[in-house]
Structure 1
Amino acid sequence: MFNIANQLTLGRILFIPLLVVVYYSPLEWKYWYSAALFGLAGITDWLDGYIARKYGMDTPFGAFLDPVADKLMVAVALAVLIEAHADVWFTLPATVIIGREIVISALREWMAELGARAKVGVSMIGKVKTTLQIIAIVLLLAFNPASYPLFNKVGYITLYVAAILTLWSMIVYLRAAWPSLKGAK
């Protein structure tokens, strides 16, 4: 159960409070350090899945914990950034992303109860969305928005593209699940 892939996933969860503490610390390099922690978490997200598949370390615990770790890391990073940016133009895409994660998690749980979890498996749109989210969050964590407006704008644009893909992937998943949700056999 506690193989290297699952340990990487657990490590990603342990990064969450560390990210918050570093971001709010008085450290001169807090932006870079918090971005590095988030980026490292993003790398472990890819790495734990790769190791699990390549070396046959897939476990039910890992299958449960990996998406939880991903969603927690993204939601907490976005919550920190919502407070830091404190405007509607940041809060809007951030809440779309967080809201979608809640909806899709509930949908996957419901579909699993129906024995149809595969209908809402991870898609390529979801993978691209996740990659763009990671890039946007790293950019937004790494640079003080007041000191680096260009990087802030690039981060916002990337976050908006991720939010659009977030909505698109949610629609794809809901359409795939719709017959099961409305009770059709």
Structure 2
Amino acid sequence: MNLPNKLTMGRIIAVPFFIVCYILGYYIPALVLFCAASLTDMLDGKIARKYHLVTNFGKIMDPLADKILVYSAFCLMIGDRTIPAWMLIVILAREFTIAGMRTVAASEGTVIAAAMSGKIKTVLQMFAVIMLMLFHGVPETSGLYAPVHLIAYALLWASIIMTVYSGIEYVVKNIRVFRESE
């Protein structure tokens, strides 16, 4: 297994540790784990492209690892009422729609590449999670409370807007997948 794929697997392996830390209220270790795992997303792609280590495993598992990490965090944040459940429903609806389209395309021998808007969506979601976790650690009496709160929820809303936009863009660009499969 090459280094980029090891980094991807490391991201997946980090998720249960992140979840346990978060559930137990150890937000700083959870934040460190989440940040480290998020950084592996950037690193594995750069290394794979630079050294021509792109594999089918990486093409499938890298975006899956991102989703496992980010959506685990969002699930936890629904549990403690940091975010409303409808936001995750919107995110998951987009993901299931695109996964379905990719499956249909693959059955027809077509690979649909990820668009830049989807990559931006993932980065915004990761930054939103990081800021929302930072928000947990800021006392309401602190002068940082209001700015951290504002930034965290601005990033969350930006990620939701980009989620919807990238989903629509994906469907519009690839609607032929459904037309061809009829």
Shorter-chain TM-score above 0.5: yes
Partner Cα distance (2:173, 2:27) in 1? 40
Contact 1:9 1:45 in 2 (8 A): yes
CA drift of 1:161 comes to 1.0
Q: Of residues 170, 175, 178 in structure 2, which corresponds to 1:178?
A: 175
Contact 2:4 2:47 in 1 (8 A): yes
Secondary structure, counterpart of 1:168 in structure 2: helix
**What TM-score does the superposition give when structure 1 sets the normalisation length?**
0.86
Per-residue CA deviations over 1:101-134 (Å, capped at 9, x if unaligned) read 222222222212222223xx22221122111111
Counting aligned pairs with the same residue, the percent is 34
Residue 4 (structure 2) pairs with residue 8 (structure 1) = no
Contact 1:136 1:158 in 2 (8 A): yes
CA RMSD for the aligned pairs?
2.0
Residue 32 (structure 2) pairs with residue 36 (structure 1) = yes
Structure 1 partner of 2:151: 154
Give unmatched runs, 5+ long, in structure 1: none
CA drift of 1:146 comes to 7.7
Structure 2 partner of 1:131: 123
The verdict on how the C-alpha distance between 1:153 and 1:94 changes in structure 2, with shifts beyond 3 A counting, is farther
Secondary structure, counterpart of 1:122 in structure 2: coil
Contact 2:27 2:137 in 1 (8 A): no
The verdict on how the C-alpha distance between 1:102 and 1:22 changes in structure 2, with shifts beyond 3 A counting, is same
Q: Of residues 71, 79, 84 in structure 2, which corresponds to 1:75?
A: 71
CA drift of 1:51 comes to 0.7
**What TM-score does the superposition give when structure 2 sets the normalisation length?**
0.88
Secondary structure, counterpart of 1:182 in structure 2: helix
Partner Cα distance (2:122, 2:9) in 1? 19
Partner Cα distance (1:142, 1:162) in 2? 17
Mapping of 1:108-119 within 5 angstroms?
108-118=102-112
Greater alpha carbon shift after TM alignment, 133-142 vs 121-130: 121-130
Partner Cα distance (2:172, 2:102) in 1? 13
Mapping of 1:12-23 within 5 angstroms?
12-23=11-22
The verdict on how the C-alpha distance between 1:108 and 1:3 changes in structure 2, with shifts beyond 3 A counting, is same
Count of aligned residue pairs for this structure pair: 177
Structure 2 partner of 1:122: 114
- State the one-letter code of the partner of 2:168: I
The verdict on how the C-alpha distance between 1:35 and 1:182 changes in structure 2, with shifts beyond 3 A counting, is same
Give unmatched runs, 5+ long, in structure 2: none
